[in-house]
Structure 1
């Protein structure tokens, strides 16, 4: 492990400032967090179901996911995470994990001790409010996923997810012009949507034939944004984005 330079926490600032407004003093306080960095390989658990934790994990670069396994080893992915996300923020108040967090790609993470996060939120109530807002947005995303899984067709479900993932990345400067990284596998997509790998493949082929998307070299290009939004009934209001970062 190595100490993280101040500027390395810019992904967290970009994330918070996509949903809230911070003062210069608050930005400096976030940048001054005493954290450690780790570089992790793809498909590596960061924290496991049942672990007792004393630190939060901030994604600096790369992709991660929350997931849980059934007794038969079947995986359900609950969410995808990009730079700026703190997927286990709830561990500040619930230190025993009830699911696992793992990398999907080569990923750099910053580990933030709970004690320092608590001190930060006590000193700066507006930062605490921004983090609380982030957890509320996280809950809104969960509700959107449940709605898709229960009530939308496989085609509309995947279209809705693509709209969400694009806007989340655009908001923190990782995507633009309806083009964004999408570095996870078709099997990951199946485990996130509750569909079979074969069914996901058919949906992606249909999207390509209809001129909606191009998916190549781990990059998603939405060729017809308005049509994708319309077919999936996508409404970005649940993401509660206040502003978008420059790419």
Structure 2
């Protein structure tokens, strides 16, 4: 999964692919709702998501949650812990997940021996920054209708890049409250927007699967331009 994710960011040589596949990994399943790493922790390893969805978040003093990224298979959501020793946010499993934990030392050895892989991982963190900027625009300037449309388009392109979405259809296992906390909206507001998108025959959400019925129109509503995701193979 990591090889496929890195391959969606930059071209890897056969030798680099083999080096990535030799990384020592400890596989561990975790239930949904479980914190993978918490704010103020000092982790000595990074995690690769093999299955399931996770999110980075912070809690305010009164208990309100702000999600500021969703993560899917192939992502290394705590890669910054390789250089920032103390976590300034928490990482939570939104669904049951399977994780591969890789020691920091092994990643350092890999990036020292293979500068091309180091550049690819650096590029991945830069793409994270681009996604954060896009989310800031969404929360600050897009309507709820536009923001939901944009998020669904973004997740499709991310999942398609690692082979987990096709024909404008993908598994969406998160709850409405998670979408609300990601977009800074109420759960009631998200419910209204989803109903409107369904009534306009733009999408269907059934049994945890999202089917985008009219991709061009949904992308137009969300003003979605996939450039900021910087993947090699962009959706049509």
Find the partner of 2:202 among 212, 217, 221. Answer: 212
Residue 51 of structure 1 contacts residue 96 of structure 1 at CA under 8 Å; is this kept in 2? yes
Find the partner of 1:28 among 13, 18, 25. Answer: 18
Instruction: Could you tell me which runs of 5 or more consecutive residues in structure 2 were left unpaired when the two chains were aligned.
Output: none
Residue 17 of structure 1 contacts residue 243 of structure 1 at CA under 8 Å; is this kept in 2? no
In structure 2, what is the equivalent of residue 182 of structure 1?
172
After TM superposition, the structure 1 = structure 2 runs for residues 198-209 of structure 1, keeping only pairs within 5 Å, are 198-209=188-199
Are 2:140 and 1:150 equivalent residues in the alignment?
Answer: yes
Residue 19 of structure 1 contacts residue 243 of structure 1 at CA under 8 Å; is this kept in 2? no
In structure 2, what is the equivalent of residue 117 of structure 1?
107
Could you tell me how far apart the structure 1 residues matched to 2:37 and 2:115 are? 28
Are 2:21 and 1:16 equivalent residues in the alignment?
Answer: no
Deviation string for 1:42-79 (max 9, x for gaps)?
Answer: 11000000101110011011110001000111100010
If the length of structure 2 is used for normalisation, what is the TM-score? 0.98
Residue 139 of structure 2 contacts residue 183 of structure 2 at CA under 8 Å; is this kept in 1? yes
In structure 2, what is the equivalent of residue 3 of structure 1?
none
In structure 2, what is the equivalent of residue 223 of structure 1?
213
Q: Secondary structure in 2 aligned to 1:60?
A: strand
| TM superposition shift of 1:95 | 1.6
Instruction: Could you tell me which runs of 5 or more consecutive residues in structure 1 were left unpaired when the two chains were aligned.
Output: 1-10
| TM superposition shift of 1:231 | 1.1
After TM superposition, the structure 1 = structure 2 runs for residues 65-214 of structure 1, keeping only pairs within 5 Å, are 65-214=55-204
| TM superposition shift of 1:35 | 1.3
Name the Cα RMSD after superposition: 1.0
Could you tell me how far apart the structure 1 residues matched to 2:206 and 2:181 are? 20
Could you tell me how far apart the structure 2 residues matched to 1:241 and 1:204 are? 27
| Count of aligned positions | 235
If the length of structure 1 is used for normalisation, what is the TM-score? 0.94
